[in-house]
Amino acid sequence: MVVYKHMFMMLNIAKGIGTATATGILGYAVWSREGTVLNASWTTNFEPSVRWEHNWDRRDPESLVKPLKSNSSEKETKNRENELEKQRPTATRHLLLIRHGQYNLDGKEDSERYLTKLGKKQADYCGKRLKEADIEYTKLISSTMTRAVETAAIIHKHLPQLTWEKEPNLCEGAPIPPEPPIGHWKPEQFQFFQDGPRIETAFRKLFHRAEVEQKKDSYEIVVCHANVIRYFVCRALQFPPEAWLRISLDHASITWVTIRPSGRVSIRRLGDSGFIPAKEVTAS
């Protein structure tokens, strides 16, 4: 066994300044190489408070191929490895979640909750930003609510080549009772039982690793609502879903979620609204 040692220093990033300062904690990290596996010493005996669920989307190849018996032959083992290889995705999926622009809060019905003049400008800024990124987007999906449809329509003007799908399960709602509770926000209790399953259905439809047949990375633009996006983020990162209300998102902001072929999920943007002039940024 070959052992590698590496000196490290713990760094603390100063919030809001972007400078690193040493905490003064020095130590040695030890890696051991056994065969082709390289393990970091500080992880070998570490017990995480919550383990990552690798089969969160029920598409882990290990769960799709029949397991081997204890007395399996070498041929059966090799056949299973070949089957596993056939089930492994190779492409990465990117979901760009867009919150709609500012809308008329005085509206009682959905049709009356249309974008304000500022909301239309915010959507236009977002569309320009998406186009300037020069990404080969796959498609555009939106909620069927007025403010989301209007936002998607403005974005679509910048990316007219995209097919546009409308998904009613993406409509705004109350996904799950938040923790801690918020005193000033008290939806009817039945809303959670009504909206929760619908929003969860939207999550399961959108969030999963790529199909095996998908060979190129995909970039889907999804225009929907703050509660829905916040819940999606918590679910995708396997954070407690009840934490969704602790996140704030600006109007027409971009939240970028990446799903790797392995099923690993990461956030590249969260509520990014830096492309909107500061005086035109709103959240409510």
Q: Which residues are documented as binding site for substrate?
A: 147
Structure tokens at 92: 């990465």
Q: Which residues are annotated as a binding site?
A: 147
Q: Where would I find the H helices in 116-181? A: 117-132, 146-158
Q: Phi and psi (nearest 5°) for 93?
A: -105, 135
Alpha carbon distance 165, 205 (integer Å): 13
**Do residues 223 and 96 lie in contact, with contact meaning Cβ atoms separated by under 8 Å?**
no
| Four-residue CA torsion sign, 195, 201, 206, 209 | positive
Structure tokens at 280: 């035109």
Question: Strands (DSSP E) along 145-217, which ranges?
Answer: 164-166
Q: What angle do CA 36, 41, 42 make, to 5 degrees?
A: 135
